[in-house]
Amino acid sequence: MATRPPPRAAAITVCVTTLIRPAQDADAGPGTTGRQLPGTPFGLWMWPALATLACTLTGIRGPLLGTDEIVTWDVAERSTARILAMLHRVDAVHGTYYLLMHGWTALFGSSHTSLRMPSALAMAATAAVVTLIGRRLFGERAGLCGGVLFAVVPVVSRYGQEARSYALVVLAATVATLLLLRAFDRPRSWGRWAAYSACLAVVGLLHLVALTVVAGHLAAVLLRARRRRRELWCFLAAAAVGGACAAPVILLGRSQASRQLFWVPEPDLWALAGIWPQVFASSLCAGAVVTLAALAGKERREALLPCAALVVVPPLVLWAASHGDVSYFRFQYVMFTVPHWAVLAGAGLAAAARSWRVVAVVLAALSLLVLPDQRRMREPFEHDVPHGADYAGAARTIEKYHRPGDGVVYVRGGPWMLDRGVRYYLGRDPELREVFLARSAAENDELYPAYCTQPARCLRGESRIWVVVPGTGPDPLESVPAVQARVLRAQYTTYGTERLSGLTVALLQRKS
């Protein structure tokens, strides 16, 4: 599928032509160094935010919903009481996000764009926060460079187009860093520490593992503690309160971790280096950003260390914690480091480039180099790697040949969500009775439904039954649970089969 590349170059050109003359900005904050640009902070962060929004909205309808996104839609469609009941059993770490999406879909519907829009907006807001952090620590040029760099990172587009909590987690963790820096400015202001504490609570409620950002913040505070002991105690109190607010998610999430993450392998030493191409969704982009970040090494230590700690310490903590009963070492869980990498890379680019023309050339060159990765992010099955299940194709097949009174059998295999994936693309018409279903996932207060223990008694004389199974094997009924397959083979014969990407749709007809 070909999609038009995001209009990044236009955003960069605007920055070059409207922000040329350097000047000192008295309000830039205590960490500001180097040459400044005229204009308000609003004008500074607006361009990176718009560039990021343009990137994430370009092709947002292209990829089919992945399995995790199907789960988001399914849970968001349930009542609040059903969602809360499910969270006591599974997926508590995403509970806050499900409740937010429940309200969102009630207002805006559940189309592709609607489901993914909160993530797109969150990534755009993160670009603005990256710009403000860079401005505060390294100056306006560095802030603007960091914000635009963040916009062109492929993983930003990838998860800005995903109906999951990761983009919101990235935003919350980045805002927490900005609030911590503001608290450093006035360590005696309890209001600023309270805001930081509240933001940490939001981070924990959105995703438990993202609280490893606190480890990076602690490292930054300890590096300043020899001269500012008050900051350390205020930080510890604020972090404790924020963690306490997220205690329900911490307790439930910890008890459910082994069930949900049993498949994540324990990381070896090489995983610490190998994770970064995944974090950026591009090996080339990862190398370029890390190289630019290294150029910031000559900046003032007090400005450099907070961001350096945030890109190094949380992955190390997560790696160490993944050598127990459960491994948490997934690249999505350290994606909140990308904004801090962008801040450092922006500082490095601003320090190395002597003019805005050079900055524009570097940003344009990087945008072109990652263009193949950006296109890959928008391929039809990118959100369901490695399964590549064509839910939409299965729905089209059923709609084309459907007759009133048809039944259906969906086969669950591992993480597959064939029932809800096909049902999403079928919409409300045609309606198919799932013949072996005892209780739906919602009625079961689970992610998965419950099935009839005696399948023969669940049939109602359907003349035709659709069977949707994972994989493309020669005999679709081989993938059906044995007790169900025996009943189907005894009463039905295969009338037709269609093999699609990642799944097979078969039509069974009752024997005469």
pLDDT at 226: 67
When pLDDT is cut at 50, 70 and 90, the band that residue 507 belongs to is very high
pLDDT at 21: 31
Higher pLDDT, 406 or 2: 406
* Separation between Cα atoms, residue 317 and residue 446, nearest integer Å: 31
* Separation between Cα atoms, residue 68 and residue 413, nearest integer Å: 15
The two structure tokens encoding residue 408: 């259906």
Q: For the chain, what's the residue count?
A: 512
Query: For the residues 269-293, what does the mean pLDDT come to?
Result: 95
Residue 346 in this model has a pLDDT that exceeds 50 = yes
Residue 83 in this model has a pLDDT that exceeds 60 = yes
Concatenate the DSSP letters of all residues of 259-310 into one string.
HHSTTSPPP-TTHHHHTHHHHHT-HHHHHHHHHHHHGGGGS-HHHHHHHHHH
pLDDT at 96: 96
Residue with tokens 């990118």: 382
> Residue 465 pairs with which residues in a beta bridge?
407, 508
What are the angstrom distances between the C-alpha of 141 and each of 8, 50, 273, 351, 422?
A: 18, 17, 30, 9, 49
- pLDDT tens figures, 56-69: 999 999 999 999 99
Higher pLDDT, 43 or 422: 422
* Separation between Cα atoms, residue 292 and residue 19, nearest integer Å: 22
Residue 117 in this model has a pLDDT that exceeds 60 = yes
What are the angstrom distances between the C-alpha of 298 and each of 33, 303, 305, 438?
A: 12, 10, 12, 65
Q: What percent of the chain has pLDDT over 70?
A: 91
* Separation between Cα atoms, residue 19 and residue 144, nearest integer Å: 10
Query: For the residues 86-94, what does the mean pLDDT come to?
Result: 94
* Separation between Cα atoms, residue 193 and residue 322, nearest integer Å: 31
- pLDDT tens figures, 180-195: 999 998 988 999 999 9
Query: For the residues 67-92, what does the mean pLDDT come to?
Result: 95
> Residue 497 pairs with which residues in a beta bridge?
506
Residue 466: half-sphere exposure toward Cβ, Cα within 13 Å: 30
Residue with tokens 């970064």: 276
Q: Contact, 148 vs 360, CB < 8 A?
A: no
pLDDT at 299: 79
* Separation between Cα atoms, residue 10 and residue 2, nearest integer Å: 21
pLDDT at 15: 34
The two structure tokens encoding residue 247: 């205690």
Which residue type, as a one-letter code, is found at position 494?
T
Query: For the residues 310-314, what does the mean pLDDT come to?
Result: 95
Query: For the residues 103-124, what does the mean pLDDT come to?
Result: 97
Across the chain, what does the average pLDDT equal? 89
* Separation between Cα atoms, residue 413 and residue 67, nearest integer Å: 12
When pLDDT is cut at 50, 70 and 90, the band that residue 414 belongs to is low
pLDDT at 16: 33
- pLDDT tens figures, 34-59: 444 444 466 789 999 999 999 999 99
Query: For the residues 293-299, what does the mean pLDDT come to?
Result: 88
* Separation between Cα atoms, residue 368 and residue 388, nearest integer Å: 27
pLDDT at 9: 37
- pLDDT tens figures, 233-253: 999 999 999 999 999 998 898
Angle formed at CA 352 by CA 351 and CA 353, multiple of 5 degrees:
100
pLDDT at 303: 85
Residue 201 in this model has a pLDDT that exceeds 50 = yes
pLDDT at 33: 40
- pLDDT tens figures, 475-486: 999 999 999 999
How far from the centroid of its chain's Cα atoms is residue 510's Cα?
45
Lowest mean pLDDT among 6-15, 214-223, 289-298, 478-487: 6-15
The two structure tokens encoding residue 302: 């007090």
Higher pLDDT, 420 or 230: 420
Angle formed at CA 234 by CA 233 and CA 240, multiple of 5 degrees:
90
Taking each helix axis as running N to C, give the angle between helix 338-352 and helix 140-152, from 0 to 180 degrees, rounded to the nearest 10: 130
What are the angstrom distances between the C-alpha of 212 and each of 77, 190, 313, 384, 475?
A: 31, 23, 8, 27, 47
pLDDT at 444: 93
pLDDT at 3: 43
The two structure tokens encoding residue 311: 């890109």
